[in-house]
């Protein structure tokens, strides 16, 4: 299972939200590039990079941060936050971003997401399923899509979808443990799907349980910034 530290960006700074609430934002570092370099120096390989400004505005905003992380680190980056156009997809892939997370667009313009899976390759995309009580939330977690997570995955799996990152917004930033039941349910329905767990991961025991479930990856954010994990410990895992 991949250990994937997370960096969320607002106005070029490294921040974390609590339960997806922009009103509950905490700035942890002024320069997210420095944070990415620290992850690399700790021999971590992956990075989940989120442009929260982009998620809110519906277009990628923090291009400078993306470009710097790509040019100054060798991290394998998956990026999300407001990607809506072919031009953005192509620019991100040209910059060397490994995978692009697609959330709101997959709900609102499902045919475009299917087109991207076919045109650019399904290995380049992750369906970003942000859920609250198993209902999908969109537009930076601000609106309910009236869509169940299993139904959303089912819509795209037949078109080659390989990866999904599922975030339980109710647990995100709460440091209270992930929604194991939700991941078990998704894995039981779609055993071949590569699932990244996100939201609430706060202990080594959490990570070991997700490993036992044979998930593809574990995205860890606030627990790192609050000192629940030592970066060297994550590498050992």
Burial of 49 (0-12, 13-18, 19+ CB in 10 A): buried
Q: What stretches of the chain show up as alpha helix (H) in DSSP?
A: 32-41, 52-57, 63-72, 86-95, 104-108, 110-120, 149-157, 180-189, 204-212, 222-225, 231-236
Could you confirm whether 53 is annotated as catalytic?
no
State the residue for tokens 């250990």.
Answer: 3
Tally helices (H) and strands (E) across the chain: 11, 12
Give me the residues paired with residue 101 across strands: 80, 126
Could you confirm whether 154 is annotated as catalytic?
no
- Which listed residue (78, 130, 172, 206) is catalytic? 130
- Which listed residue (8, 53, 78, 172) is catalytic? 8
The CA distance from 49 to 46, in Å, is 10
Q: Give the catalytic positions in this structure.
A: 8, 130
């Amino acid at each position: 299972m991949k250990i994937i530290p997370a960096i969320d960006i607002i106005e070029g700074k490294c921040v974390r939200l609590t339960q997806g609430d922009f009103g509950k934002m905490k700035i942890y570092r002024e320069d997210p590039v420095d944070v990415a370099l620290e992850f690399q120096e700790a021999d971590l390989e992956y990075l989940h990079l989120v442009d929260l400004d982009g998620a809110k505005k519906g277009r990628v905003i923090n291009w400078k941060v993306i470009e710097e992380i790509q040019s100054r680190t060798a991290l394998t980056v998956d990026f999300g936050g407001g990607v809506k156009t072919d031009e953005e997809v192509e620019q991100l892939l040209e910059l060397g971003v490994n995978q692009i997370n697609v959330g709101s667009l997959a709900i609102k313009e499902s045919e475009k997401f299917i087109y991207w899976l076919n045109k650019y390759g399904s290995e380049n995309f992750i369906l970003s399923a942000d859920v609250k009580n198993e209902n999908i939330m969109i537009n930076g977690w601000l609106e309910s899509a009236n869509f169940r997570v299993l139904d959303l995955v089912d819509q795209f799996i037949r078109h080659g979808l390989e990866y999904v990152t599922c975030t339980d917004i109710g647990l995100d930033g709460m440091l209270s443990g992930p929604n194991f039941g939700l991941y078990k349910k998704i894995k039981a329905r779609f055993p071949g799907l590569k699932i990244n767990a996100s939201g609430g991961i706060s202990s080594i025991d959490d990570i070991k349980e997700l490993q036992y479930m044979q998930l593809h990856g574990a995205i860890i954010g606030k627990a790192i910034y609050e000192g629940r994990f030592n970066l060297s410990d994550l590498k050992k895992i």
